[in-house]
Structure 1
């Protein structure tokens, strides 16, 4: 594995750790470049402030026990590109993110999730 791939994995792991240990939106947003762009199904979030607000809403809308039943199905990186597939039980049976990491920060991300019947 090359240095760039290792750096991408390191950023992804730090990002996921902040999420999984419930460190909050500010800690999650620390992984992003100040000019980062997050492509989500509802809109495009530009810059760390908008991305932090996205995560505040995302975390605020997670059902109780979501972190307990979160499962990583795929996590890989190739150079500057990282990819994960995850689920939160039947609540979110399929979620996926793609990351572009440069200089230790996420500069681009795509996110999509299928939310099951509530």
Structure 2
């Protein structure tokens, strides 16, 4: 199971690096849930909008993702984002993978206080 989870993670981070929104979305179950700083986004359409905003944010600086921790269905990462203004902020994501797709993801960082990700109406 850990290998399947690692495969999903690798596919996801590769798509993130290429800013390939369609490939990223193919990693999520149709009814996936993403929680970002206590705001919940449900289903692929809402999650897609989150990633569109994340691309805008992360294209304004540099990101470094630390080595992931992968255990069974769980992927945990820490990352660092340095804005062009040279402020570096820390963040963390957790992914739960089921049937070769992401079911749940959490993202937490003070970055999103400065760069909000609004929920679509």
> Which TM-score tier does this pair reach, normalised by the shorter chain?
0.7 to 0.9
Give the TM-score normalised by the residue count of structure 1: 0.83
Cα offset, 1:15, TM superposition: 0.7
Cα offset, 1:72, TM superposition: 1.6
Q: Distance in 2 between matches of 1:54 and 1:73?
A: 22
Counterpart residue number, 2:5: 8
Counterpart residue number, 2:16: 19
- Going from structure 1 to structure 2, the CA distance change for 1:40 and 1:117 (only over 3 Å counts) comes to closer
Which blocks of at least 5 consecutive residues in structure 1 are unaligned?
Answer: none
Q: Distance in 1 between matches of 2:9 and 2:91?
A: 15
Q: Distance in 1 between matches of 2:51 and 2:88?
A: 16
CA deviation vs aligned residue, 1:44-93 (integer Å, no higher than 9, x gap): 010011100110111123343x3xx3212231110001100011225452
2:79 equivalent among 82, 86, 97: 86
Which blocks of at least 5 consecutive residues in structure 2 are unaligned?
Answer: 116-121
CA deviation vs aligned residue, 1:8-48 (integer Å, no higher than 9, x gap): 1111111111111222x232111100010001115101001
Counterpart residue number, 1:109: 105
Give the TM-score normalised by the residue count of structure 2: 0.81
Give me the CA root mean square deviation.
2.1
Counterpart residue number, 2:32: 36
